[in-house]
Amino acid sequence: MNAEQLRAAQAPIKARYREEPESARVTLAARGELDVEGITCRLATPAGPIAAGLHPATGGDGNAACSGAMMLQALAACSGVTLLAVATAMGIPIRGGSVIAEGDWDARGTLGVDKAAPVGFLSLRLRFELDADATEEQLARLLSLTERYCVVLQTLRNPPAIASTIASTSGG
């Protein structure tokens, strides 16, 4: 896809959002089915089901996906797609490359071994390795715009309000 094709694909969508701002509000959802015997949560995805389970650092056997790694994969995927869209709009040809998302965490927090150890990632790193003919200035602008428009990255930097509920379907 080139810049003209991208603009043509997005123009009617942008026009509708300008005329009807409420139509830009989209609700995404994920549903997991609990496997109590395997201590996994099976997620339905367009690519097929994924079973998420305990990381080996917390007692898992490594056969199920780690939800922390899945979060990093979501960051890599979103920032990679965003980078490609921005590069296309900027007219920077990208021949290939990689997006690497890494995060450090302390398993003691999630296991309750040390109450002072945080639960969650301590730090995240995002790196792009591109095969592209671009100036340092173009790359800096590409990175800045990618960071600005990446939904997952912006959600991590500016966390939304989160509401949790729980209910028993057995009535007990």
Write the pLDDT tens digit of every residue in 42-69. Answer: 999 999 999 999 999 999 999 999 999 9
pLDDT at 172 over 80: no
**Residue 34 is encoded by which pair of tokens?**
């609990």
pLDDT at 171 over 80: no
Give the model's pLDDT for residue 137: 97
Output the CA–CA distances (angstroms, integers) from residue 62 to 52, 91, 107, 150, in the order listed: 10, 42, 15, 30
Mean per-residue pLDDT, 105-116? 95
pLDDT at 122 over 70: yes
**CA–CA separation, 34 and 132 (whole Å):** 44
Contacts by 49-54, CB closer than 8 A, 24 or more apart: none
CATH class of 3-157: alpha beta
- 170 band by pLDDT with thresholds 50, 70 and 90: confident
Task: Tell me the pLDDT of the chain averaged across its residues.
Answer: 95
Give the model's pLDDT for residue 1: 86
**Residue 29 is encoded by which pair of tokens?**
């959802």
Please check whether residue 52 is in contact with residue 67, taking contact to mean a CB–CB distance below 8 angstroms.
Answer: yes
What are the residue boundaries of the structural domains of the chain, listed by start? Answer: 3-157
